[in-house]
A and B are shown apart, each in its own frame.
Chain A
């Protein structure tokens, strides 16, 4: 068996988006994935050779029956062009190239367009109301002497986060790595991340906003250039403890430590607002980081999940002006992060057909919306078999981004990275299928 290897391969499996994997290829499979974490290794080594992959599921099924690609395109185009209020949804687990065509399709159809990111939409709203002071991960690796992890657990979710970007990596201004960094975790319970930290601050569930606002008060009250802040910033210790679950005497040194940073970084989970408090939590966090820049350089860094959700945010924004929850029915993009969320639209019966690209809303949405979705005529384009693709009227089975075909994906810090094809595939890519569909729709739709 002849083998070959490829260096600097990007792993799309989690939000780390490691780009240093060396894969060994042999017998049509990936036989080794050096530098990858255990999950990454499983991802690469589990990929099927071309023949097995195509045999596992046909390129197209129409109502459960294997069909030709050509018939599938015709059937999918019929569903979408007959719809009065179609939805294009998903897009987060594929390349930017596919995302760009998917937005073009939504525009052409006058459809609703949304991605799973809208479920945590308030992260984006914080950007609208406060702005954001942020940095790429390398900036934090080279300069970040105070690292705060707020309600997130990268040690569990992104196994190589410490090694590649933060704690365990020496940086230009932090030659000793871990020893040069103060690490503090704030969260409702101890985690793998807090086990690696210098300090864990337990937070009362749902108290994010109160705690962040206390820190803001303390940071704002402190004179610039002093080690210790104003005594209590006029805060009532009893109220603080009641609201946050921790005494003011704990928050004050934390605020001081943050102010004393040379270059601090506050990591947070892009899903943070999904809990109570809505967009206020993220706004408070972004406002705190903004305030801290009077005293120190300080940045906020959202951690997104795996795949390419950040690419989707970017592509949708440059093509339409808005990152998700878009409606093209009026002939131009309109944005409403609440009303145009796909699961809302579907739940209210405002959608009559859907194109689902590289996502599984049937499994991930709340039951009411998921069931209504399953009752609609669906077109699925996916590299996996999913609950959604199983119920689709037309389901296309595509090759996999970053395995069989190349493209661009974005890391959590908006850094774009290139994917390369590793294995051959007998299946078309989603970019090709979307292109065929667009061509067919242009013929169907009244001009």
Chain B
């Protein structure tokens, strides 16, 4: 009796292996995809008849907020939303939960899987809170996951950069990723959060502002982390939330950041929020500046972006960018949560509603779509809503429809603020995405950008994370309810029903670093932290069996 089984006769989209809509079988053994057996006498133990169905790798969300203290505060703050949202009911084999813009953990796992997504990364965890994030991810079933740690305002790092201690920067980066059991370094408003901690209303304005006390600039912080990440051979090196998020005219800063990365390359996240023209503090001149930024991306192969698409409706803004949270809560006069995390990071949360009759919001929506349509190479533009910032991950099928159906896109465009057409190129863009291109921006590209060799494709050796869709002219309908979702070789969802609530894994890196840094950190912790150095690193055995190291290498 063989353990081999197969998905038979589906229409395969596997852009990483140059397969674009061919009919073929996919063979699975245990948790992996395998090459079809050469011996024709081998019979599969079972078969899913996929004739007429579209077969893609499981979706990969490379930037979302699904775990950790900020997410959990947002859940508490938005209890009114949870009361009114359709809840997740307990079944004999699944847990109950609540929705709203910030779902509870079990609900998050079920909803991602039911959408055909099998991997998701939380983008903003302070290392001090890594234990919290790991516990939440352990309670987020079905999907594989991981998180990036906030380092762009880490005071130890800034001090070493300011003193030119480059070897110590590299060693610390390795140490802290290992200590937190994290996947990648994240840079949020480098230097800006520290200035906000020092001064009411403070922030940086550009890459070359000095951060007082530490004598570093945002440029130095970005470059040093990118350099150290390259030396450690991290699979995902620099995940950057640039300075001046959300401010009119911020596209200059964004372009400066891309230019600063020359030689290293890097990933600029929720780029939509960083592509605005107009005068600072003057909403009346707000406009799209995607074109010059997309031109830069088109000309520089080592820069990648995810979009951070805004969708109309209520949601929750949630950021490691403390001053941004304050700015948004003042702008909209809302509740405001903020938490400064010692020596490491900030956090801002505010409810927000994106309205299609607001010119600014309509522009944000259009700017996101411009990004998908103006970057020529889909391998370098990844679908995201920066969940829940621009909208929920559950909006991905709507975005797919907007990209694949220009008639629909124009119909929606006709309903939003009329001045949009003067301030954005969107009405002039005819491009439509193919299914193969959608497959790239929702799984193949994010897996490649993250350095996850076994995700985002269907070749032999890949993780058997596979989504089967029933084709439909309405792509939103097609993508919102997959026919089957297979995770690690098991059918976990059928037609939206959870069959097998498996646990999923948590990825982390374990880079090699110079252990001498610990001696210096002992003094730093003694002076400035309220937690002992001995209690800071998380030992692998303190976490569950789902912890899964990813190799650092060339």
Considering the chains assembled together, what is the distance between the CA atoms of A414 and B104 in angstroms? 18
Least CB separation from B341: chain A residue: A136
Q: Is B407 an interface residue (CB 8 A)?
A: no
Minimal beta-carbon separation of B273 from chain A (angstroms) = 21
Contact with A along B54-85 (1 / 0, CB 8 A): 00000000000001010111011101101100
Structural contact, B79 and A335, CB atoms closer than 8 A: yes
Considering the chains assembled together, what is the distance between the CA atoms of A415 and B72 in angstroms? 13
Contact with A along B133-144 (1 / 0, CB 8 A): 001100100000
Structural contact, B73 and A417, CB atoms closer than 8 A: no
Structural contact, B75 and A321, CB atoms closer than 8 A: yes
Q: Is A135 an interface residue (CB 8 A)?
A: yes
Structural contact, A132 and B75, CB atoms closer than 8 A: no
Minimal beta-carbon separation of B71 from chain A (angstroms) = 8
Structural contact, A418 and B131, CB atoms closer than 8 A: yes
Of the stretches A151-159, A287-295, A340-348, A353-361, the one at the interface is A287-295
Residues of chain B lying within 8 A (CB to CB) of residue A318: 67, 71-72, 75, 104-105, 135-136, 139
Structural contact, A333 and B96, CB atoms closer than 8 A: yes
Structural contact, B535 and A128, CB atoms closer than 8 A: no
Minimal beta-carbon separation of A103 from chain B (angstroms) = 9
Contact with B along A203-243 (1 / 0, CB 8 A): 00000000000000000000000000000000000000000
Minimal beta-carbon separation of A142 from chain B (angstroms) = 6
Q: Is B2 an interface residue (CB 8 A)?
A: no
Considering the chains assembled together, what is the distance between the CA atoms of A262 and B202 in angstroms? 12
Contact with B along A413-424 (1 / 0, CB 8 A): 011111000000
Considering the chains assembled together, what is the distance between the CA atoms of A128 and B83 in angstroms? 13
Structural contact, A141 and B530, CB atoms closer than 8 A: yes
Structural contact, B72 and A406, CB atoms closer than 8 A: no
Residues of chain B lying within 8 A (CB to CB) of residue A19: 531-532, 535
Minimal beta-carbon separation of A138 from chain B (angstroms) = 3
Minimal beta-carbon separation of A240 from chain B (angstroms) = 26
Q: Is A322 an interface residue (CB 8 A)?
A: yes
Contacts A131-B336, A331-B89; A317 near B535 (Cβ below 8 A) = no
Residues of chain B lying within 8 A (CB to CB) of residue A96: 135
Residues of chain B lying within 8 A (CB to CB) of residue A136: 128, 339-342, 530
Q: Is B338 an interface residue (CB 8 A)?
A: yes
Minimal beta-carbon separation of B77 from chain A (angstroms) = 6
Q: Is A171 an interface residue (CB 8 A)?
A: yes
Q: Is B542 an interface residue (CB 8 A)?
A: yes
Q: Is A367 an interface residue (CB 8 A)?
A: no
Q: Is A314 an interface residue (CB 8 A)?
A: yes
Least CB separation from A323: chain B residue: B76
Structural contact, A418 and B535, CB atoms closer than 8 A: yes
Of the stretches B192-200, B259-267, B501-509, the one at the interface is B192-200
Kindly identify which residue among A133, A139, A262 contacts B342, using a CB–CB cutoff of 8 Å. Answer: A139
Q: Is A181 an interface residue (CB 8 A)?
A: no
- Chain A: interface residue count, which band? 35 or more
Residues of chain A lying within 8 A (CB to CB) of residue B341: 135-136, 139
- Among residues 231 to 289 in chain A, which have CB atoms less than 8 Å away from a CB atom of chain B? 262-263
Q: Is B163 an interface residue (CB 8 A)?
A: no
Considering the chains assembled together, what is the distance between the CA atoms of A8 and B213 in angstroms? 30
Considering the chains assembled together, what is the distance between the CA atoms of A209 and B527 in angstroms? 38
Residues of chain B lying within 8 A (CB to CB) of residue A127: 73, 76-77, 337
- Among residues 20 to 48 in chain A, which have CB atoms less than 8 Å away from a CB atom of chain B? 20
Structural contact, B139 and A332, CB atoms closer than 8 A: no
Residues of chain A lying within 8 A (CB to CB) of residue B198: 143, 173, 262-263, 297
Contacts A107-B96, A164-B530; A415 near B335 (Cβ below 8 A) = no
Contacts A139-B340, A317-B75; A263 near B197 (Cβ below 8 A) = yes
Minimal beta-carbon separation of B350 from chain A (angstroms) = 7
Considering the chains assembled together, what is the distance between the CA atoms of A314 and B73 in angstroms? 9
A-B contact count (CB 8 A): 198
Minimal beta-carbon separation of B236 from chain A (angstroms) = 25
Q: Is A319 an interface residue (CB 8 A)?
A: yes
Structural contact, A293 and B528, CB atoms closer than 8 A: no
Kindly identify which residue among B97, B200, B340 contacts A295, using a CB–CB cutoff of 8 Å. Answer: B200
Structural contact, B72 and A314, CB atoms closer than 8 A: yes
Minimal beta-carbon separation of B12 from chain A (angstroms) = 37
Kindly identify which residue among A132, A172, A290, A294 contacts B528, using a CB–CB cutoff of 8 Å. Answer: A172
Structural contact, A130 and B335, CB atoms closer than 8 A: yes
Least CB separation from B98: chain A residue: A321
Residues of chain A lying within 8 A (CB to CB) of residue B343: 138-139, 142
Considering the chains assembled together, what is the distance between the CA atoms of A101 and B462 in angstroms? 34
Q: Is A4 an interface residue (CB 8 A)?
A: no
Contact with A along B511-542 (1 / 0, CB 8 A): 00000000000000001111111110010001
Residues of chain A lying within 8 A (CB to CB) of residue B90: 107-108, 110, 328, 331-332
Residues of chain A lying within 8 A (CB to CB) of residue B129: 414-416
Least CB separation from B71: chain A residue: A318
Considering the chains assembled together, what is the distance between the CA atoms of A131 and B317 in angstroms? 13
Contact with B along A9-26 (1 / 0, CB 8 A): 010000000011000000
Q: Is B329 an interface residue (CB 8 A)?
A: yes
Structural contact, B79 and A314, CB atoms closer than 8 A: no
Q: Is B88 an interface residue (CB 8 A)?
A: yes
Considering the chains assembled together, what is the distance between the CA atoms of A182 and B200 in angstroms? 18
Contact with B along A70-99 (1 / 0, CB 8 A): 000000000000000000000000001000
Structural contact, B88 and A317, CB atoms closer than 8 A: no
Structural contact, B80 and A128, CB atoms closer than 8 A: yes
Q: Is A296 an interface residue (CB 8 A)?
A: yes
- Among residues 313 to 350 in chain B, which have CB atoms less than 8 Å away from a CB atom of chain A? 326, 329, 334-343, 349-350
Q: Is A189 an interface residue (CB 8 A)?
A: no
- Among residues 260 to 288 in chain B, which have CB atoms less than 8 Å away from a CB atom of chain A? none
Contacts A139-B342, A141-B530, A295-B200; A133 near B79 (Cβ below 8 A) = no
Contacts A107-B95, A314-B72, A321-B79; A100 near B139 (Cβ below 8 A) = yes
Considering the chains assembled together, what is the distance between the CA atoms of A153 and B131 in angstroms? 30
Structural contact, B131 and A416, CB atoms closer than 8 A: yes
Contacts A322-B79, A335-B83; A290 near B535 (Cβ below 8 A) = no
Q: Is A129 an interface residue (CB 8 A)?
A: yes
Kindly identify which residue among B97, B105, B213, B530 contacts A333, using a CB–CB cutoff of 8 Å. Answer: B97
Kindly identify which residue among B67, B77, B104 contacts A128, using a CB–CB cutoff of 8 Å. Answer: B77
Residues of chain A lying within 8 A (CB to CB) of residue B10: none
Residues of chain B lying within 8 A (CB to CB) of residue A108: 90
Considering the chains assembled together, what is the distance between the CA atoms of A112 and B92 in angstroms? 19
Residues of chain B lying within 8 A (CB to CB) of residue A297: 196-200, 340
Residues of chain B lying within 8 A (CB to CB) of residue A128: 76-77, 79-80, 335
Contact with A along B277-307 (1 / 0, CB 8 A): 0000000000000000000000000000000
Minimal beta-carbon separation of A100 from chain B (angstroms) = 7
Structural contact, A320 and B535, CB atoms closer than 8 A: no
User: Which of A131, A133, A164, A334 has the most C-beta atoms of chain B within 10 angstroms of its own C-beta?
Assistant: A131
Structural contact, A165 and B72, CB atoms closer than 8 A: no
Considering the chains assembled together, what is the distance between the CA atoms of A415 and B223 in angstroms? 30
Structural contact, B95 and A317, CB atoms closer than 8 A: no
Structural contact, A135 and B77, CB atoms closer than 8 A: no
Considering the chains assembled together, what is the distance between the CA atoms of A406 and B326 in angstroms? 38
Residues of chain A lying within 8 A (CB to CB) of residue B372: none
Contacts A124-B76, A131-B337, A332-B96; A293 near B106 (Cβ below 8 A) = no
Q: Is B87 an interface residue (CB 8 A)?
A: yes
Q: Is A392 an interface residue (CB 8 A)?
A: no
Closest 4 CB pairs of A and B: A138-B342, A321-B98, A8-B534, A332-B87
- Can you pick out 9 interface pairs between chain A and chain B where the beta carbons lie within 8 Å of each other? A131-B336, A135-B340, A293-B200, A314-B69, A319-B106, A333-B97, A414-B69, A415-B530, A418-B538
Interface residues, chain B, CB within 8 Å of chain A? 67, 69, 71-73, 75-77, 79-80, 82-83, 87-90, 92, 95-98, 100, 103-106, 128-129, 131-132, 135-136, 139, 155, 196-201, 213, 326, 329, 334-343, 349-350, 527-535, 538, 542
- 15 extra interface residue pairs, beta carbon distance < 8 Å, beyond A107-B90, A322-B76, A332-B90: A8-B533, A20-B532, A128-B335, A131-B335, A131-B336, A133-B338, A136-B341, A136-B342, A263-B198, A314-B132, A318-B71, A322-B79, A331-B89, A333-B98, A447-B92
